[in-house]
Amino acid sequence: MPEDATTLHVRRAKAGDRESLEWLVKRFTPLLIANARYRLARPLWSLYDPEDVVNDVWLVALPRLPDLPPREGRHTPVFLKFLSTTLLYRVNDLVAKHIRGKPGRAAAPAWDAGTDLRDPVDALPAPTTEAVRRLVRQEAREAVAAAIDELEEGDRSLVILRGIEG
């Protein structure tokens, strides 16, 4: 059976391939943003930006990527489950802080400057800051979010729970 693209890129990213790591981040960020928007109640959007929540997810997920084992030779289900579970924990933590009256702050990871330990985000190739590319990426995110928002509640839940959380 041929290997799916996500499994291939997870396998390569685990081996240190930066282009595959970038592919994974670009491919799954719009889905994670849609999931974060779904999970965060609209009133919380003024306190917690769904994109910031997704950035927090990547900060947790990227260092753990090498530890994710394949299931039946495939990395896709394990990778998606890990991303969605990490997102769910982050959203639940923010909601709990909000309920307790303590607005959340995104804590920066404690990277030890005295060691070779690097922030995994630094390993990503520098994004092109060209205005056109930024606009295209933003439009793609907005199109995915708008399409999901237009769905009826039951269909939206189905897409989020099945398509994103597996």
Kindly report, residue by residue over 81-101, the tens digit of the pLDDT: 999 999 999 988 888 887 777
The pLDDT of residue 132 is 43
Instruction: Summarize the confidence of residues 30-36 as an average pLDDT.
Output: 89
How is residue 74 annotated by DSSP? B
Q: What is the pLDDT of residues 37-93, one digit of tens each?
A: 888 877 777 788 888 899 999 999 988 999 999 898 889 889 999 999 999 999 888
The pLDDT of residue 145 is 77
Which amino acid is present at 103? P
Stated pTM of the model: 0.61
Q: What is the pLDDT of residues 103-135, one digit of tens each?
A: 555 554 544 555 554 545 455 455 433 444 555
Question: Cα 128 to chain center, whole Å?
Answer: 20
Instruction: Summarize the confidence of residues 127-156 as an average pLDDT.
Output: 67
Question: For residues 44 and 98, is the Cβ–Cβ distance under 8 A?
Answer: yes
pLDDT grade for 151, boundaries at 50, 70 and 90: confident
The pLDDT of residue 88 is 92
- Among 34, 8, 37, CA closest to 23: 8
- Among 116, 115, 134, 156, CA closest to 26: 134
Three-state DSSP class for residue 28 = helix
How is residue 108 annotated by DSSP? P
Instruction: Summarize the confidence of residues 17-22 as an average pLDDT.
Output: 90
